[in-house]
Amino acid sequence: MYTFEEIWGNQRLLLHLRMAVKNQKTSHAYLFIGGAGAGKRMIAKTFAKYLLCTSQQEEPCGICDSCRVFGSGNHPDVIHVTSQKKTLGVDEIRRQILETVDIKPYHYDKKIYILHQAHTMTVQAQNALLKTLEEPPAYAVFLLLAENSDAFLPTILSRTVTLKISPLTEEEIRMYLIQKGLAAKEEAAFFAAYGQGRIGHALELIEDEAFRQMREDILAQMSRLSAMRLSEALLLAKEWEIFKNDSRFLDIIGLWYRDLLAAKSLRDEHFIIQKDKKELIYAAATEPAEVLAKKAAAVTKAKERLIQNANFRLTMEVMLMELKENGNQ
């Protein structure tokens, strides 16, 4: 676990990190930029493990004392800076960094701070961290993980090496999932597409049994929707209230109609994202393409209404009426 060979994509970024260590030209602070689930944590942890590895190879060796301790998740010279709040405040920076940074590493020649959700740092927290970034101890390395760079003060940005993590292609994620034995071939295609280039997001979904069950339940309901009476269909709005705080269920419905439209219009399973459900999709793709397009639009409109804080139950009822109105009554 945590080797550069296990990381897919972003090979230029990884080469930059490896060469920096090999040539002994590492910076004291790095800012990893990437969306949620893009792989920031994996890359940062691998880099931290590599910095602390005593084997001097081109990969963390996995067998030296440092690598073994790192694998346990309790390395004394790796500090994960986090917050229980929505923001990373000055108190967390003082307690987790400023009060400990002058204490030398316990066993190795580096002391690494990994700042999770660094883009949530308040201005006061950034100013508190600034002096340490300006005059860090020789052994200290700071790895800031953030979804964007917009929230950072220019003075923070000027004292870090910014590395942008690129999303992977659907094919790269699909192949990763298959080769690692994490998903069957056709199921991997769905998770790769749903991950939207974020491999971490795809991996989280694979391990999320609640998401898997939600998907199964919703697809079963959608496959029966055309045959339901309107009164029966409207009962789904109440049933779906358990998903009120989980927008993924509308993504699943939207993807259902997208795949029905692909099956009806293109007649090529290559264009179907949920290939693991292709039999169900082909069986349900009985309506004209223009009708399916209107249904897909109704789902999109419902998403927009919820973003604007519309009443959930009412929004679902309106969407279901539109889905029934555009199809079989």
Report phi then psi at 95, rounded to 5: -70, -45
Label residue 329 by pLDDT band (50, 70, 90): very low
11, 149: one domain: yes
Q: Render pLDDT for 269-283 as a digit per residue (tens, 0 to 9).
A: 788 989 889 999 999
> What integer pLDDT is reported at residue 72 of this predicted model?
83
- Residue 306 above 50 pLDDT? yes
Instruction: Give the residue from 164, 191, 217 where a domain finishes.
Output: 164
Q: Which of 34, 314, 88 is nearest to 198 (CA)?
A: 34
Residue with tokens 């795809």, as numbered in its chain: 202
**Could you say which of 164, 193, 226 is where a domain stops?**
164
Yes or no: say if 183 and 177 are a contact pair by the CB < 8 Å rule: yes
Flag whether 256 is in a domain. yes
- Mean residue pLDDT of the chain comes to 91
User: What domain range is 92 assigned to?
Assistant: 4-164
Number of structural domains found in the chain: 2
Rounded to two decimals, the pTM is 0.75
Tokens of 263: 């099956």
Tell whether 54 and 106 lie within a shared domain. Answer: yes
Across the chain, how many H-helices and E-strands are there? 15, 5
- Co-location of 147 and 217 in the same domain: no
Highest-confidence range of 8-17, 68-77, 237-246, by mean pLDDT? 237-246
User: Tens digits of per-residue pLDDT, 159-188?
Assistant: 999 999 988 888 888 888 998 888 888 888
pLDDT in tens, 125-166: 999 999 999 999 999 999 999 999 999 999 999 999 999 998
Q: Hey, which of 4-8, 18-22, 80-84, 189-193 has the most confident mean pLDDT?
A: 80-84
Same domain assignment for residues 246 and 311: yes
Provide φ and ψ at 85, rounded to 5°: -95, 180
Token pair recorded at residue 164: 């942008």
Amino acid 271: pLDDT: 87
- For residue 121, is pLDDT > 90? yes
CATH of the domain at 112: 3.40.50.300
Examine the domain organization and report whether 112 and 246 are in the same domain: no
In this structure, the answer to whether residues 110 and 17 fall within a common structural domain is yes
pLDDT band, very low/low/confident/very high, at 1 (cuts 50, 70, 90): low
pLDDT tens for 219-237 read 999 999 999 999 999 999 9
104, amino acid identity: K
Positive or negative: CA dihedral 115, 118, 123, 127: positive
Q: Structure tokens of 279?
A: 């039999």
Bridge-based pairing of strands 140-146 and 161-164 is unpaired
pLDDT digits (tens, 9 = 90+) for 255-264: 999 999 999 9
Tell whether 201 is covered by a domain.
no
What are the C-alpha distances in Å from 189 to residues 39, 59, 176, 179? 19, 30, 11, 13
Q: DSSP state, 121?
A: B
| Confidence bin at 327 (pLDDT 50/70/90) | low
Asked whether residue 192 is assigned to any structural domain, the reply reads no
Nearest Cα neighbor of 201 from 13, 17, 23, 42 is 42
Retrieve residue 13's tokens. 């970024």
SS3 233: helix
Over the stretch 43-55, which tens digit does the pLDDT of each residue have? 999 999 999 998 8
Q: Domain check: are 151 and 15 in the same one?
A: yes
Pair (9, 156) in one structural domain: yes
